[in-house]
A and B are shown apart, each in its own frame.
Chain A
Amino acid sequence: MITAGIDVGSKTVKVVILQDGKILARSLVLTGFEQGKAAEEAFALALKQAGLSAKDIQKVVATGAGRTSVSFATESVSDVAADARGAVFINPNARTVIDVGAEEGRGISTDTRGKVIDFAVNERCAAGAGTFTEAMSRAIEVKLEDMGELSLKSTQEIPLNAQCAVFAESEVVSLVHAKTSKEDIARAIHDGISNRIAAMARRVGVQNDIVLIGGVARNKGFVASLKRQLEADIKIPDEPEYVGALGAAVIAAS
Chain B
Amino acid sequence: MTLDRAKEIVTNRHDYAREWKKKTGSKVMGYFCTYVPEEIVYAAGVLPIRVIGSHEAQSYTEPHIYTMFCPFSRDVLAQGLRGKYDYLDGIMIGHSCLHLRQAFGAWMTNVPASFSYYMYTPAKIQSPHAKEMMLAETTEFKKAVENWLGRPITDDALDKSIEVYNTNRRLLKQIYELRKADPPPLFGSEAIELVLSSQLSDKAEHNKLLESVLKELPQRRNGPQGGNIRLMIIGSEDDDTNFLRYVEGLGATIVADEHCTGSRYFWNETVPEKDRLRAIGNRYMNRPPCPTKDWESRRRFVHIMNMAKEYNIQGAILVQQKFCDPHEFDIPPLKALLEKNGIPSLFLEFDITVPIGQFRTRVEAFLEMLQLEVV
- Would you call A199 an interface residue if the criterion is a C-beta within 8 Å of the partner chain's C-beta atoms? yes
Are A171 and B355 CB-contacts (below 8 A) given A203-B62, A229-B59?
yes
Q: Evaluate contact between B62 and A202: CB separation under 8 angstroms.
A: yes
Within 8 A of A (CB), among B63-87: 63, 67
Which of B177-185, B188-196, B247-255, B346-354 forms part of the interface with chain A? B346-354
Choose one: B60, B352, B358; the contact of A170 (CB below 8 Å): B358
Q: Evaluate contact between B357 and A177: CB separation under 8 angstroms.
A: yes
How distant is B250 from chain A, measured CB to nearest CB, in Å?
15
Task: Please name all residues of chain B whose beta carbon is closer than 8 Å to the beta carbon of A200 when the two chains form the complex.
Answer: 62
Choose one: A167, A174, A198, A205; the contact of B59 (CB below 8 Å): A198
Task: Please name all residues of chain B whose beta carbon is closer than 8 Å to the beta carbon of A170 when the two chains form the complex.
Answer: 358
Within 8 A of B (CB), among A160-181: 160-163, 167, 170-171, 174-175, 177-178
Are A161 and B360 CB-contacts (below 8 A) given A171-B355, A203-B63?
no
Task: Please name all residues of chain A whose beta carbon is closer than 8 Å to the beta carbon of B357 when the two chains form the complex.
Answer: 171, 174-175, 177-178
Task: Please name all residues of chain A whose beta carbon is closer than 8 Å to the beta carbon of B61 when the two chains form the complex.
Answer: 199
Instruction: Using CB atoms, name the residue of chain B closest to A230.
Output: B59
How distant is B358 from chain A, measured CB to nearest CB, in Å?
5
The prevalent SS among residues of A at the interface is helix
- Would you call A96 an interface residue if the criterion is a C-beta within 8 Å of the partner chain's C-beta atoms? no
- Would you call A233 an interface residue if the criterion is a C-beta within 8 Å of the partner chain's C-beta atoms? no
Within 8 A of B (CB), among A120-140: 123, 125
Instruction: Using CB atoms, name the residue of chain B closest to A205.
Output: B63
- Would you call B205 an interface residue if the criterion is a C-beta within 8 Å of the partner chain's C-beta atoms? no
Choose one: A159, A203, A205, A230; the contact of B57 (CB below 8 Å): A159
Choose one: B59, B67, B353; the contact of A202 (CB below 8 Å): B59
Task: Please name all residues of chain A whose beta carbon is closer than 8 Å to the beta carbon of B67 when the two chains form the complex.
Answer: 123, 125, 163
- Would you call B310 an interface residue if the criterion is a C-beta within 8 Å of the partner chain's C-beta atoms? no
- Would you call B155 an interface residue if the criterion is a C-beta within 8 Å of the partner chain's C-beta atoms? no
A192 vs B357: C-alpha distance when bound (angstroms): 16
- Would you call B56 an interface residue if the criterion is a C-beta within 8 Å of the partner chain's C-beta atoms? yes
How distant is B72 from chain A, measured CB to nearest CB, in Å?
13
- Would you call A63 an interface residue if the criterion is a C-beta within 8 Å of the partner chain's C-beta atoms? no
Task: Please name all residues of chain B whose beta carbon is closer than 8 Å to the beta carbon of A205 when the two chains form the complex.
Answer: 63
How distant is B281 from chain A, measured CB to nearest CB, in Å?
38
A44 vs B62: C-alpha distance when bound (angstroms): 43
How distant is A234 from chain B, measured CB to nearest CB, in Å?
14
Are A161 and B59 CB-contacts (below 8 A) given A123-B67, A125-B67, A174-B360?
no
Within 8 A of A (CB), among B319-370: 351-355, 357-358, 360-361
Instruction: Using CB atoms, name the residue of chain B closest to A226.
Output: B59
A170 vs B359: C-alpha distance when bound (angstroms): 11
- Would you call A191 an interface residue if the criterion is a C-beta within 8 Å of the partner chain's C-beta atoms? yes
How distant is B68 from chain A, measured CB to nearest CB, in Å?
9
- Would you call A151 an interface residue if the criterion is a C-beta within 8 Å of the partner chain's C-beta atoms? no
Q: Evaluate contact between B355 and A161: CB separation under 8 angstroms.
A: yes
A160 vs B353: C-alpha distance when bound (angstroms): 8
- Would you call A195 an interface residue if the criterion is a C-beta within 8 Å of the partner chain's C-beta atoms? yes
Task: Please name all residues of chain A whose beta carbon is closer than 8 Å to the beta carbon of B59 when the two chains form the complex.
Answer: 195-196, 198-199, 202, 229-230
A160 vs B11: C-alpha distance when bound (angstroms): 22
Task: Please name all residues of chain B whose beta carbon is closer than 8 Å to the beta carbon of A163 when the two chains form the complex.
Answer: 67, 351
How distant is B244 from chain A, measured CB to nearest CB, in Å?
17
Q: Evaluate contact between A174 and B355: CB separation under 8 angstroms.
A: yes
Instruction: Using CB atoms, name the residue of chain A closest to B61.
Output: A199
How distant is B352 from chain A, measured CB to nearest CB, in Å?
6
A175 vs B56: C-alpha distance when bound (angstroms): 18
Instruction: Using CB atoms, name the residue of chain A closest to B58.
Output: A195
Instruction: Using CB atoms, name the residue of chain A closest to B57.
Output: A159
Q: Evaluate contact between A161 and B62: CB separation under 8 angstroms.
A: no
How distant is B175 from chain A, measured CB to nearest CB, in Å?
32
Bitwise interface map of A from 181 to 203 toward B, beta carbon under 8 Å scored 1, else 0: 00000000001100110111011
Q: Evaluate contact between A161 and B354: CB separation under 8 angstroms.
A: yes
Task: Please name all residues of chain A whose beta carbon is closer than 8 Å to the beta carbon of B62 when the two chains form the complex.
Answer: 199-200, 202-203
Task: Please name all residues of chain A whose beta carbon is closer than 8 Å to the beta carbon of B56 when the two chains form the complex.
Answer: 159
Are A161 and B63 CB-contacts (below 8 A) given A170-B358, A171-B358, A174-B358?
no
Q: Evaluate contact between A202 and B352: CB separation under 8 angstroms.
A: no
Task: Please name all residues of chain A whose beta carbon is closer than 8 Å to the beta carbon of B358 when the two chains form the complex.
Answer: 167, 170-171, 174
Are A162 and B57 CB-contacts (below 8 A) given A123-B67, A202-B63, A203-B63?
no
Q: Evaluate contact between A162 and B63: CB separation under 8 angstroms.
A: no
A82 vs B122: C-alpha distance when bound (angstroms): 52
Q: In the complex, which of the residues B58, B60, B352, B358 has the most CB atoms of chain A within 10 Å of its own CB atom?
A: B358
A123 vs B63: C-alpha distance when bound (angstroms): 13
Residue contacts A-B, CB under 8 angstroms, 5 given: A160-B57, A171-B355, A178-B357, A202-B59, A229-B59
Given contacts A170-B358, A195-B58, 4 further A-B contacts (CB under 8 A): A159-B353, A162-B351, A171-B357, A175-B357
B contacts, CB < 8 Å to A:
56-63, 67, 351-355, 357-358, 360-361
What 7 A-B pairs have minimum CB-CB distances, sorted nearest first?
Answer: A174-B357, A199-B62, A198-B59, A161-B353, A199-B59, A159-B353, A159-B57
